[in-house]
A and B are shown apart, each in its own frame.
Chain A
Amino acid sequence: MAAMGRTLFAKVWDDHVVEERPDGSVLLFIDRHLIHDATSPQAFSALRQAGRTARRPAAGLAVADHLVPTADRGGPIADPRLAVQVAALEANAREFGIPLLPLGDATQGIVHVVGPEQGFVLPGLTVVCGDSHTSTHGALGALAFGIGTSEVEHVIATQTLVQSRPRQMRIRLSGTLGPQVAAKDAALAVIAAVGASGGAGHAIEFAGPATAALSMEERMTLCNMAIEAGARTGMIAPDERTFAYLEGRPMAPAGADWQAAVAYWRTLASDADAVFDREVAIELSGLAPQVSWGTNPAQTVAVTGRVPDPAGFAEAAERQAAIRALAYMELAPGTAMADIRPDRVFIGSCTNARLSDLRAAAAIARGRRVADGVIAQVVPGSGLVKRAAEAEGLDRIFQEAGFQWHEPGCSMCVAINGDRVPAGQRCASTSNRNFEGRQGPGARTHLMSPASAAAAAVAGRFVDVRELI
């Protein structure tokens, strides 16, 4: 019998199996480990307590993002709890010999923005981080997944993880995204189609012509949100666009190594006869900008649509979830999405804070004004994104329109650095999660694209951004 074709996932997985264990799990070698301030202190404490060291410190990269203030970097961090934990990350990285991008560095930013930007993450590698949105790096053709703090400790000490092989799902995206319809809209539509737990136990490969047509930054947005469908990871086969993105980045291979790497990366795409456990096809032509109405990212409709009536859901569980979500969001069934008014607008996060995201938002903000009563802020994903945006004058466009322009970090996506949405207020957000309390206790989050969020800011209500162009 001829050998069966292998998927992208299987090729990367198989390349990293240190040993197969009797129970079917494997010891998987980990190439890259991103380490941040929020989920690592307990790992370092435990390592220290056990007298363990980092097996391959150079395979790590530490950068503070979750807890860092974004308003003012002039002096020390004012909140002592945040200051202590950011300082601990930097001290731990130095003690264990792990490369560090310190808070004052021009390259500091959100781990999932910095990793690709520095060429730290490459196709065909295994990449982990104590953060669920590590799936972002699958956009480069890496096998990248989020882990807990105990696993952070395990990776630092052993450069491996014990893993069970997930099932595999391919999501083929076809058609063409219309003007002002973004990768974020595609991601939300995918999650709405698959469900908040539809990807559980699976590694997703995004494929099809509409995936290939996405820019690298758009691919990152798509893979970033794979976790919101419950998937272990999202991946996209590396192609010429991937190689062009990586070439010359500070930590990417160069010279003969680059040639060898690209030759290998060209072999990674799923074979034509590879078999997936599940196949999903989604047509993107005609997709309208999406906005979430509920408290999980699958609870999303077109901005041209209405808040659904829970009675319309056939499944009891979905109906119950919708009733609960509408009570939390203080929304009535049948409300036109375009009649919902934000108090806050947040443009940022590992989902949507790259240069192309800021350009899309600035194109809407240009020459307009943030509506009365709305507080809007833009938080670039990294120092390099911020600098590049400023070189193009995006900061001036935003500030002239009344948006605040911040320093890079996770900010109001996870809302633990002091940036948060006050209780009862409604936020149009380019982040990834609309969970109860995610952006602050009692905060109400509506997920959308950067252009849609900028449009909501200037219109003072949710609006079909296609009308503003």
Chain B
Amino acid sequence: MEPFARVTSVAAPLPIDNVDTDVIIPAEFGVTMERGGLGPHAFNALRRFPDGAERPDFVLNRDPWRQARILVAGANFGCGSSREHAPWALRDFGFRTIVAPSFADIFYGNCFRNGILPVRLPAEVVAGLMDQAGQGANAVFTVDLEAQLLTAPDGGTHRFEVDPWRRRCLLEGLDEIGATLTARPAIERFEAGYAARRPWALPG
């Protein structure tokens, strides 16, 4: 897995609540056998007219936010479908961090497994960051996972909480399956006990 330590970048403001994964990556682009290549289709309906031309007023079609590595979003970001294509598309676009008052549960977990750090901060803090993000090229943010600290363009620092295991996975780029497989003896012990107490539950 791709590690993440810190990112310094302008931040694209997307002040919309309940942005769902269908908006992040429409299902039609999810018909794919690959994880890569979805960045050009991220936020497709917001970014493009039906004929494919860019909507000039959409934030990701404007400089400096075309190069943004940080997205500042509204509440309940990533709700809806569990499709991991959403973080794949965001990562492929270039995002490493998403800052929002809240995230949908499945999307939140999917981000960590794809080199994206989702940062939860109080709504009033995010509102302030949203304003600063809109100021453009000189408004540079830094998000530091090691220190669990977001530094805003105005110099304000905001500590964020992150689950210690997910933090470690992301910092080290840990292979989570490999890590779980080191617990194989515990899994085998569990299975033996489970087979004894719920013999009807285990197929095959």
Contacts and interface: CB of A to CB of B under 8 A. Distances in A.
B203 interface: yes
A39 B27 CA distance: 11
Given A21-B165, A42-B33, A416-B30, A154 B177 contact: yes
Contact of B105 (A19, A232, A260, A438): A232
Interface size on B, as a range, is 35 or more
Contact of B181 (A23, A157, A253, A433): A157
Q: Is the interface of B mostly helix, strand, loop or mixed?
A: loop
Contacts of A249: none
A141 to B, nearest CB: 13
Contacts of B113: 148, 150-151
Interface string A135-148: 00000000001111
B19 to A, nearest CB: 10
A437 interface: yes
A230 interface: yes
Contacts of B81: 131-132, 414, 433
Nearest to B26: A437
A136 B201 CA distance: 19
B132 interface: no
Interface stretch (B136-144, B153-161, B183-191): B183-191
Given A27-B186, A125-B201, A414-B27, A436 B163 contact: no
A27 B189 CA distance: 13
A114 B33 CA distance: 24
Contacts of A442: 45, 50
Contact of A147 (B28, B35, B106, B186): B106
A81 B180 contact: no
A162 to B, nearest CB: 7
Q: Among B18, B32, B44, B80, which residue has the most Cβ atoms of chain A within 10 A?
A: B18
A467 interface: no
B204 interface: yes
B164 A148 contact: no
A126 to B, nearest CB: 10
Contacts of B74: 317
A158 B194 contact: no
A160 B180 contact: yes
Interface in A223-265: 230, 232, 251, 253, 257-258, 260-261, 264
A132 B187 contact: no
Interface of B: 16-18, 20, 22-23, 26-28, 30-35, 44-45, 50, 74-76, 79-84, 87, 102, 104-106, 109-110, 113-114, 163-165, 176-177, 180-181, 183, 186-187, 190-191, 194, 198-204
6 closest cross-chain pairs (CB), A and B: A58-B204, A197-B76, A253-B200, A257-B200, A148-B84, A148-B110
